[in-house]
Structures are given as C-alpha cells and as structure tokens.
C-alpha cells in the first residue's frame, strides 16, 4: 500500500538548462548550463494548484497537462507514495523551445521533487530513466541531472519492451565558457527533426564519429580542439533551411574561429571557448533582436526542504 506524504511537506528544486548535440554528438552529448528554473512543490489537502512565472507564463497549461506536474506524478508513482493535493510553483529562466533543454529541465525538476517528497528513494539512474521517458532521449535530461557534460545512450530491447536510458559524466576543463545567442523565434524539436534524412553517407557518419571523439578530448583536456571537435555533417547542414538566422550566425562565428554550433534543435547558437566572443559581434546580434547570455558550465540539479 502506498505511503501518504504528510500535508505541508514542501521542497524546492533548482535545475539547470542544457545544450544537446554540441555539434557532432547528435542525441548523445549534453552540457549543463548556468541558466535555471526553480520549482517549489508543496503537499496540500486536496486538488492541484499550478503557478508559473517567468518563461512560459501565460503560455503553458496550469493543470495536469503541465510537464512538471506529469513528471511529479510519475515520480510519486515510482516511489510508491501518494499526495492528497499539490501546489506547484515554477519560476522559469530557461527560454522555452529554444534548444536550451527547457522540457528536459521540467521533467527533471518534477521527478527530483517527487523523489525528495518521498524521502529520496530513487537513485540517480532511475531519475534519469524516468525523466527521459518524457523526452525520448537522455542527453538534455542527463546533463540537468548530473551537471557538467555527459555522454548518453539509449538501449532499445528487441523484445519490444520500453527503452532504457543511460548516461556517464564528463569532467569539463575549468577554462571553458559558453556564450548563447538566442533568437526570438521558437523551434519545435519535432518539426526540426522532420528535415533530417533517414540515412546519411558512411563517410559523413565516420566524420561525426571522429569529431565526437575529438570533442570529448577538447572538453575534458584540451580546449584548443573545440573548433575541430564541434564540426558536424549529420544534422546541422539539413536544419539550416528551417533555421536560417541560426545557420547564418553559426557560419559567421565559425568563419571567425569561434567553436559555434546549433544548441539542440535550435534556434539558439552556442559558442564554447576559453576566450570571450568579440563584443562587436555580440552587439550586432543584440541589435538584430537576438538575446545574448554569457554562461558557465553548471553543476547538477539541487533540491532542498522548504
């Protein structure tokens, strides 16, 4: 029989955003970034109350359809506990549908909050597994859970049972910094995926495999390899047609020597470097309505009693 969580129990979660792919590591590499959503979850007598401020305010549902709520429900069920009612407050800074892991952060915050309410009965692997079921791949989720950089992978059983999601952390060189150029436009991950071909040439696959290896060395040991390590032939060339502004800035920055790439499904462009991007370039981006954020590599999701 499920245990009931006492009314009044409250937890707060701070979850970082993330960038996926990082150039060549399509659906496998992720990086936690210092832009955060804050979620507070309280057990109440009955019902569901949802409040959203910041990013997504007035745009997301304030009921059981809200992703944080769905993730909380999944986490409570997995933990074999019940709550009479829930009050969920979300204060969001991660831009939504911009390629910075907002949906993964929402899923992670819900599962982590539920686990904390239940008394920390779920291990890290289970949290990654549960949150990744909302995404279909673990790159952003694992980055938000573990912090730093991650290598992730999915195993799809031949017997048709549910996929299993896995990740391993990668320590990032302390000198690496991130600059995000965030256009105003939104990008649907599903829509941007539709432009990808079902097959790619063997030579292009080999190219991306080698650059992924280079990137792991660049991230952990030798940042001078970041430009070479962020080259890609698997997804960004095809996405250029539906993300022309992002493609323009990736090309401009790379042509000037900056390790720039499309963050996730875009439209955000991310630069990883040990040196700042030239201010004149950033100001031009701002003048064209592009938001610029100077970020650092973030640590893992945190949770505390409130």
pLDDT beyond 80 at 254: yes
Number of domains, the chain? 2
- The DSSP annotation for 244-266 comes to HHHHHHHHHHHHTT--EEE-TTS
Which pTM does this prediction carry?
0.96
Domain co-membership, 62 together with 107: yes
Q: Is 61 annotated as a binding residue?
A: no
* Mean per-residue pLDDT, 215-228: 99
Q: Is 299 annotated as a binding residue?
A: no
Q: Is 169 annotated as a binding residue?
A: no
According to the model, what pLDDT value does residue 252 have?
97
Count of residues in the chain: 306
Domain co-membership, 162 together with 58: yes
Domain co-membership, 29 together with 137: yes
pLDDT beyond 90 at 183: yes
Q: Is 98 annotated as a binding residue?
A: yes
Could you read off the pLDDT of 228-239 as tens digits, one per residue?
A: 999 999 999 989
Longest pairwise C-alpha distance within the chain? 63
Domain co-membership, 160 together with 184: no
Hey, what's the torsion of the CAs at 22, 23, 29, 30, to 10 degrees? 20
Domain co-membership, 19 together with 131: yes
pLDDT beyond 90 at 192: no
According to the model, what pLDDT value does residue 97 have?
92
CATH number at residue 154: 3.30.230.10
* Mean per-residue pLDDT, 207-215: 98
Q: Which of 168, 156, 258, 144 is nearest to 216 (CA)?
A: 168
The confidence band for 187, taking pLDDT boundaries of 50, 70 and 90, is: low
Q: Is 97 annotated as a binding residue?
A: yes
- Which residues are CB-contacts of 82 (< 8 A; sequence separation ≥ 6)? 2, 3, 4, 5, 76
Percent of the chain with pLDDT over 90: 92
Q: Which two tokens stand for residue 224?
A: 């001078």
Q: Please give the mean pLDDT across all residues of the chain.
A: 96
Domain co-membership, 102 together with 217: no
According to the model, what pLDDT value does residue 39 have?
99
Q: Is 105 annotated as a binding residue?
A: yes
In terms of DSSP H, where are the helices of 34-135? 67-79, 102-118, 124-132
According to the model, what pLDDT value does residue 194 have?
84
Domain co-membership, 165 together with 47: yes
Domain co-membership, 148 together with 249: no
The confidence band for 15, taking pLDDT boundaries of 50, 70 and 90, is: very high
HEC string of 199-222 equals CCCHHHHHHHHHHHHHHHHHHHCC
Domain co-membership, 190 together with 140: no
Domain co-membership, 183 together with 63: no
Sheet strands (E) in the chain: 3-4, 10-20, 29-44, 47-54, 81-82, 85-92, 149-155, 164-170, 177-182, 260-262, 269-273, 291-295, 302-305
Could you read off the pLDDT of 18-28 as tens digits, one per residue?
A: 999 999 999 99
The confidence band for 197, taking pLDDT boundaries of 50, 70 and 90, is: confident
Residue 153: give the domain boundaries: 3-171+298-305
Omega before 267 within 30 of 0, i.e. cis: yes
According to the model, what pLDDT value does residue 160 have?
86
pLDDT beyond 70 at 105: yes
Q: Is 103 annotated as a binding residue?
A: yes
Domain co-membership, 98 together with 211: no
Domain co-membership, 147 together with 32: yes
CATH number at residue 267: 3.30.70.890
User: What's the N-to-C CA distance of the chain in angstroms?
Assistant: 27
Could you read off the pLDDT of 111-162 as tens digits, one per residue?
A: 999 999 999 999 999 999 999 999 988 999 999 999 999 999 999 999 989 9
Q: Is 100 annotated as a binding residue?
A: yes
């Amino acid at each position: 029989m499920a245990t009931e969580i006492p009314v009044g129990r409250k937890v707060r979660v701070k979850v970082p955003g993330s960038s996926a792919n990082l150039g060549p590591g399509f659906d496998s590499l992720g990086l936690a970034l210092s832009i955060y959503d804050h979620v507070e979850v309280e057990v109440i007598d009955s019902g569901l109350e949802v409040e959203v401020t910041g990013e997504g305010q007035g745009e997301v549902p304030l009921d059981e359809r809200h992703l944080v709520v769905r993730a909380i429900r999944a986490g409570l069920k997995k933990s074999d506990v019940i709550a009479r009612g829930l009050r969920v407050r979300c204060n969001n800074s991660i831009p939504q549908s911009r390629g910075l892991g907002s949906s993964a952060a929402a899923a992670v915050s819900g599962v982590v909050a539920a686990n904390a309410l239940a008394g920390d009965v779920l291990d890290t692997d289970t949290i990654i597994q549960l949150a990744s079921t909302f995404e279909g791949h673990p790159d952003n989720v694992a980055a938000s859970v573990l912090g730093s950089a991650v290598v992730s992978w999915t195993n799809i059983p031949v017997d048709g049972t549910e996929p299993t999601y896995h990740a391993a952390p990668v320590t990032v060189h302390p000198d690496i910094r991130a600059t995000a150029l965030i256009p105003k436009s939104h990008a649907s991950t599903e829509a941007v995926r539709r432009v990808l071909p079902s097959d790619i040439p063997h030579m292009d696959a080999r190219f991306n495999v080698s650059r992924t290896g280079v990137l792991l060395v660049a991230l952990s040991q030798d940042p001078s390899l970041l430009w070479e390590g962020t080259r890609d032939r698997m997804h960004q060339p095809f996405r250029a047609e539906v993300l022309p502004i992002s493609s323009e800035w990736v090309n401009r920055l790379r042509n000037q020597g900056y390790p720039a790439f499309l963050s996730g499904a875009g439209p955000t462009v991310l630069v990883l470097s040990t040196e700042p991007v030239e201010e004149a370039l950033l100001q031009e981006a701002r003048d064209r309505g592009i938001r610029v954020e100077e970020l650092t590599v973030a640590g893992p999701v945190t949770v505390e009693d409130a």
